[in-house]
Structure 1
Amino acid sequence: MSIHTRLFIVFIVTTILLIPIAMTDTVDRNPMEPFLKPSDFHKYEPVDYTIHDPINISSDQQFMDQALAEGWLGNGTEENPYVIEDFSINCETNCIEITNVESYFEIRDCMLSSPNESEELEYPLTFDYGIYIRNSSNAIIDSCFATRKYTAIGVREAQCEIYNNSCVGNRYRGISMYDSDNSTIINNVIERASTGISVSNSANTTIGSNNITSVRSYGIDIDCRFSIVRDNRIEDASMGIYIDWSFNNTYVYNHIRNCSYASLYIEDGYNHNISYNVFSGAGIYLSSWGGSQLWALEEYNNTVNGKLIYYARDQSFLDINPGDYGQVILYNCTESVVQGGTIADTNIAIQIGYCDTTVVRNTGVDNCSQYGISVASSDFSEIEYNTITNCYYGIMMQSSEYCSVLENTITDCLECSIYLGNANFGEYNRNEIAGARDASIGFSITNTETSTFQDNVLTQAGFKVDGHRLESWSHTMTNNMVNGKPLGYFNAVSDTEIDVSHYAQVILGGCDGVTIKNGYFENVPIGVEMGYSDNCIARNMTVLNCSWHGIHLRNTYSSLITNSTIKFSENDGIWFYFTFDSNVTSNIIVHNERYGIRLFASRDCKVFGNSIGWNILSNGNDHSSYNMWDDGISVGNSWSDYNGSGFYLISGTEDVFDHFPSIYTIPNTNSSLSTTTITNTTYTQTDTSPIDMFVAVGVIGIGIEVIIIVAIIFRGKKESID
């Protein structure tokens, strides 16, 4: 049968199968029943192979010569295509590569593999394919088996039929197609890859009846137009179907289960017809970044965990009981109320996008792999009196203003209980939050301006603030409790000294000339944060077990971190971001899981007189050549990984050094005495506790601090510091 005849049949069959989708009122098929039984899927059957060297054909003449020489069937015409069959090819390059030919050909019943036993991506990458077709539009690939390749089957700039193949244990993709219109990918089995099927920049493509299991990222990754994705079975992936810049596509009768991020994720595009899909464990995820057009779905009779998805667009005054549905999605709706019942065991229980004045209240949400309630570009939303448990994020509020999140109970959310991104002018009050573990993020407040946080009670959780404008650090925060102690939040405070020993964590926003001292912060996201705060000092801080950074300074000038201990942070001990003319001196910074001290987009800062050791990625990191990691005279830092010879190179650049480094050594735990020895090359402490590896900097540290303070006074500081 010729390839054109095959394509005509595929077109006719596809057209017939799509008629019920357009006539949804007369469909007689139960969407809850499987369309295909497992036995309907192709299963690879071994054949007797002939061992063969790699095949590389790049012209019609070469194809004809090799076919004649090896006795291949066919003559390259539509009626009698060349046939490459029954070969076993094992190599580290492309097993079969055919480019720039107009001949008709079929590749069938071949075994294609690599001597590399790995099924994981390894660097440097090796781009080897089982079959690679380019600029050759008359190809059929049928009933081949490909394993341990970078990609099993790759097609580029070619019209191709790919069916009945088994792609098992490949490092990157099972089937990859780019810029290849009018192609079909039907009835293939794909197991154990990063992505099952990837089709991009193509039109009029049919992806049907494929069985895709155990892929690390996407079952199907599609960037197409006027295409059909139907009757596929996808199981055990991060995302079942990932839709990027696609439009006028149809996704029907797919069965997708156990995809942790989403069964169907829409990143961008428009005119998506999504109908009669059966999802289990996760539903639809609509991106908040791709614009409003991607939310305008043609959605019919999709289910999550046996319950219909409730999808509404362009409606007003809705009253919805979410407990009746597997997922609720509202787009461009106004003055609607979602209340009552419980949604559980999906990726996002309730999604609200581009709506106005929506209320979600008295609803239970449990065990969502992404968000319990997600609100995107929807002003005047009210989220109140809900109970949310065991989600990754409890509430996500993105690009939505004048909203309120009030009196919700949120427990055991793994990453964050309430995330606010560009959620300006809101009221976030009287919520009770219990983190899933110590130091969970209760509130993550990112680029959110001028909002109110009052009477919130956080247990095993805390606050995290970030933003690139002063207004992002300027809020009303009163009477918030973190782990049984008050939150210390100071906004626009000037020229004062504050004993912060009774606070759970401290945040300075828009302050000037403030000294904070004697803090003990443990099991919070960040112990000390300073944003848009100048001439400030943090002294005598003990910061332990933070889930983010120990101390974070952003857009801050002429500030000082001194005489503090920062240990066991899950990110950096101290992180400077767009911070200038500031110093870090006489601190102990050890056992943090990323960097001990990290300076990013910062300049004219000095780091010296510190004891820095056993931080996982590196002890120091600097992405600028404009900072100093010593005092420029004789004092540097002591480092656990310094070998005692020469300068100490700071990671992140090739030309930043501590010119006066010394060795920070592990204490001698066999001694019953506790002593400190300081020499010009080595700082050594002996202690009975190996965890507390403190090094006293003594008179040198005091002298350094005095010098810095005098310098600050000279710059015009209004209040003298003891």
Structure 2
Amino acid sequence: NVVHGTVMNCIIDQRYIGIIMQYSNNCTLRNNTASSNYYGFFISSSDICTLTNNTASSNDYGIYMYASNGGTLINNTLANNGMVIEGWSVSHWLHNESGNTVNSKSLGYFKSLPSTTIDGALYGQIIMANCSDVTVNDGVFTDVSRGLQLGFCTNCTLNNNAASSNSHGGFFLTISEDCTLKGNTASSNSDAGFILSDISNCTLADNTANNNLGRGFILEDLSCCTLTDNTASCNIGIGFFLLGISNCTLADNTAINNLGRGFYIEESISCVLINNTASSNIDSGFNLIQTLDFTLTHNTANSNNYGFSLSTTNCTLTNNIASSNSVSGFALVVRQNLTLTDNTATSNEYGFYFATSHNATVTNNTAYNNTRDGFFLTHSENCTLTYNTAFNNSRYGVYLWTGAWYNTLYLNRFGNNVVSNGRDDGSWNIWDDGVSSGNYWMDYNGTGVYPIPGNAGSVDNYPFGWGPVTTTTTTTTSDVDIIMMILILSSVGIAIVVVVIVILKKRKT
């Protein structure tokens, strides 16, 4: 709360804050040196202040300006740190600047700049405020507080820039729209590689975040944005962290070898994930929490802890693959209205694990070679499982455990599971359609009903022996049918070859 104050000729090091100016106006900092602090110069909620001929070196933040208006920065030297601007109003980003350097290059501070292409290689750090139609190419920003910052910008492009070894992130964008980030790399930063907040209609394509000490990508409060062909690898935290996003599309992105989750999405609505890959992440490959109206198609999760871990409402999963995850391929806590179609879970502990899931429609999915169960349901009700296949799982093909109520299963195929093909310890579950069709059991002897092992005392009233199942949407024999028929005939010898040749010829015709 100082007005017209001056601080000059001070040397401050190894403190949390070197020099702080807060709630003060028309003040001046001149000829001061701040080194090896967390904040070198901390300016907060202070207007029309001047920083001249100061030196900030080896701080986490060299000069930090927060929610301050109309500042003047002249001939300041920043070494092994940089300048950071934050604030919720465009006026907080607009200052007067000249003659400042970052790591012996000019500080690239651009405000209200229209229709320009900037050679990023000329600058030690770039800050863009209220710019439009500006492109930054080929910058290399190393050992500054944040490599490249945008605030209140429209239709700007960051292309082929690199930010590494910065203390608080590689790329930072806030309150901007219609911007494009393409071919940029953020590596070995002490915080996240890319940080975007309050962004709309932006595109991130072919960017890479690797070996950052925080998350690869942090994306908060985004709407109508597209992420395509980006890679997050070997980051200490989550590969892609998305919070509060809506109407966004993630396509062909890869999260690999991160020490957290691959893709983490929370409190978000109406998004599409297609052809993304999560591999060898320490936690989940794909983790959705409190999301609504999501569609996941043709995504792959392999060698994570969980493949797909979802706590969501109104979610559709189609043609996704979960393999070699140490716990579950699909771990599903879905409050209402889950649709799973044509997904595959193999070589996980559990293939499909449903907990407190209600009104799920599970059709034509395949679970095989899992070390426990193909399909496991607990505290889940009113789910319908049809045309699914579970084989070669080390415990049960399908297991309805405690709290699995009022679920319906028919026209599924269960075979060659080690303990038994099915078990029901739930209540009031139905194992046929009530008319003429039950499930296909490899161990059915062809006579009478098929009793389901377990405490529920359930029966399949209309069981079938194992055989191909024709759905209403296809008339061709599936690859799973071929595999299972080979398994059935494994003791016949040469007959296997004959059967396979006949089936493949039929498929071609």
Distance in 1 between residues matched to 2:62 and 2:430, nearest whole Å: 59
Which residue number in structure 1 is paired with residue 161 of structure 2?
363
Deviation readout 1:467-499 (Å, 9 max, x if unpaired): 43xxx14321111111269956898589xxxx9
Which residue number in structure 1 is paired with residue 73 of structure 2?
274
Q: State the SS of the aligned residue for 1:453.
A: strand
Change (3 A) 1:229 1:483: same
Change (3 A) 1:464 1:304: same
Which residue number in structure 1 is paired with residue 274 of structure 2?
478
Shift, 1:400, TM fit? 1.2
Q: 1:294 aligns with which of 92, 96, 100?
A: 92
Distance in 2 between residues matched to 1:512 and 1:718, nearest whole Å: 24
Which residue number in structure 2 is paired with residue 348 of structure 1?
146
Distance in 2 between residues matched to 1:398 and 1:318, nearest whole Å: 24
Q: Which amino acid aligns with 2:155?
A: T
Q: State the SS of the aligned residue for 1:348.
A: coil
Which residue number in structure 2 is paired with residue 411 of structure 1?
210
Q: Which amino acid aligns with 1:339?
A: N
Deviation readout 1:268-312 (Å, 9 max, x if unpaired): 12111111111111111111x432111001111111111110111
Which residue number in structure 2 is paired with residue 253 of structure 1?
53
Which residue number in structure 2 is paired with residue 691 of structure 1?
none
Q: 1:208 aligns with which of 8, 20, 25?
A: 8
Q: State the SS of the aligned residue for 1:271.
A: coil
Q: 1:319 aligns with which of 104, 114, 117?
A: 117
Distance in 1 between residues matched to 2:234 and 2:406, nearest whole Å: 43
Which residue number in structure 1 is paired with residue 445 of structure 2?
none
Which residue number in structure 2 is paired with residue 446 of structure 1?
243
Give the 5 Å matches for 1:226-625.
226-260=26-60, 262-287=61-86, 289-391=87-189, 392-437=191-236, 440-461=237-258, 462-468=261-267, 472-483=268-279, 492=293, 505-508=307-310, 509-511=312-314, 521=325, 533-534=335-336
Consecutive unaligned residues of structure 1, counting only runs of 5 or more, are 1-200, 544-550, 561-582, 586-701
Shift, 1:449, TM fit? 0.9
Q: Which amino acid aligns with 1:511?
A: N
Change (3 A) 1:390 1:712: same
Give the 5 Å matches for 1:563-712.
705-706=401-402, 708-710=403-405
8 A Cα contact 1:513 1:718, kept in partner: no
Q: State the SS of the aligned residue for 1:299.
A: strand
Change (3 A) 1:501 1:270: closer
Shift, 1:420, TM fit? 0.9
Q: Which amino acid aligns with 2:279?
A: N
8 A Cα contact 2:184 2:207, kept in partner: yes
Shift, 1:717, TM fit? 10
Change (3 A) 1:237 1:528: farther
Distance in 1 between residues matched to 2:23 and 2:46, nearest whole Å: 5
Deviation readout 1:80-139 (Å, 9 max, x if unpaired): xxxxxxxxxxxxxxxxxxxxxxxxxxxxxxxxxxxxxxxxxxxxxxxxxxxxxxxxxxxx
Q: State the SS of the aligned residue for 2:404.
A: helix
Distance in 2 between residues matched to 1:385 and 1:393, nearest whole Å: 17
8 A Cα contact 1:257 1:263, kept in partner: yes
8 A Cα contact 2:307 2:322, kept in partner: no
Distance in 1 between residues matched to 2:430 and 2:4, nearest whole Å: 71
Change (3 A) 1:717 1:215: farther
8 A Cα contact 1:513 1:534, kept in partner: no
Shift, 1:558, TM fit? 7.0
Q: Which amino acid aligns with 1:358?
A: C
Change (3 A) 1:230 1:517: same
Shift, 1:341, TM fit? 3.8
Q: Which amino acid aligns with 2:154?
A: D
Distance in 2 between residues matched to 1:302 and 1:716, nearest whole Å: 74
Distance in 2 between residues matched to 1:411 and 1:523, nearest whole Å: 26
Q: Which amino acid aligns with 1:367?
A: S
Change (3 A) 1:304 1:719: farther
CA RMSD of aligned residues (A): 4.5
Which residue number in structure 2 is paired with residue 114 of structure 1?
none
8 A Cα contact 1:222 1:241, kept in partner: no
Q: State the SS of the aligned residue for 1:357.
A: coil
Change (3 A) 1:718 1:386: farther
Q: Which amino acid aligns with 2:308?
A: V
8 A Cα contact 1:458 1:482, kept in partner: yes
Which residue number in structure 1 is paired with residue 368 of structure 2?
none
Q: Which amino acid aligns with 1:311?
A: Y
Deviation readout 1:513-548 (Å, 9 max, x if unpaired): 99x999864699x99685x743889x99869xxxxx
8 A Cα contact 2:285 2:302, kept in partner: no
8 A Cα contact 1:276 1:302, kept in partner: yes
Give the 5 Å matches for 1:103-122.
none
Which residue number in structure 1 is paired with residue 371 of structure 2?
none
Change (3 A) 1:221 1:448: same
8 A Cα contact 2:406 2:429, kept in partner: no
8 A Cα contact 2:253 2:276, kept in partner: yes
Sequence identity (%) = 17
8 A Cα contact 1:248 1:270, kept in partner: yes
Distance in 2 between residues matched to 1:517 and 1:380, nearest whole Å: 33
8 A Cα contact 1:535 1:712, kept in partner: no
Give me the TM-score of the superposition, normalised by structure 1: 0.44
Distance in 1 between residues matched to 2:117 and 2:327, nearest whole Å: 41
Change (3 A) 1:424 1:523: farther
Consecutive unaligned residues of structure 2, counting only runs of 5 or more, are 340-344, 361-376, 380-398, 409-425, 433-455, 459-509
Q: Which amino acid aligns with 1:360?
A: L
Deviation readout 1:582-621 (Å, 9 max, x if unpaired): x999xxxxxxxxxxxxxxxxxxxxxxxxxxxxxxxxxxxx
Shift, 1:715, TM fit? 12
8 A Cα contact 2:406 2:428, kept in partner: no
Instruction: Select the structure of larger CA radius of gyration.
Output: 1
Shift, 1:354, TM fit? 0.7
Which residue number in structure 2 is paired with residue 117 of structure 1?
none
Shift, 1:223, TM fit? 2.6
Count of matched residue positions in the alignment of Structure 1 and Structure 2: 361
Deviation readout 1:232-265 (Å, 9 max, x if unpaired): 11111111112211111111111111112x1111
Distance in 2 between residues matched to 1:501 and 1:306, nearest whole Å: 46
Which residue number in structure 1 is paired with residue 20 of structure 2?
220
8 A Cα contact 1:356 1:378, kept in partner: yes
Q: State the SS of the aligned residue for 2:132.
A: coil
Change (3 A) 1:536 1:502: farther
Q: Which amino acid aligns with 2:68?
A: G
8 A Cα contact 2:280 2:303, kept in partner: no
8 A Cα contact 2:326 2:348, kept in partner: no
8 A Cα contact 2:74 2:97, kept in partner: yes
Deviation readout 1:552-576 (Å, 9 max, x if unpaired): x9xx98799xxxxxxxxxxxxxxxx
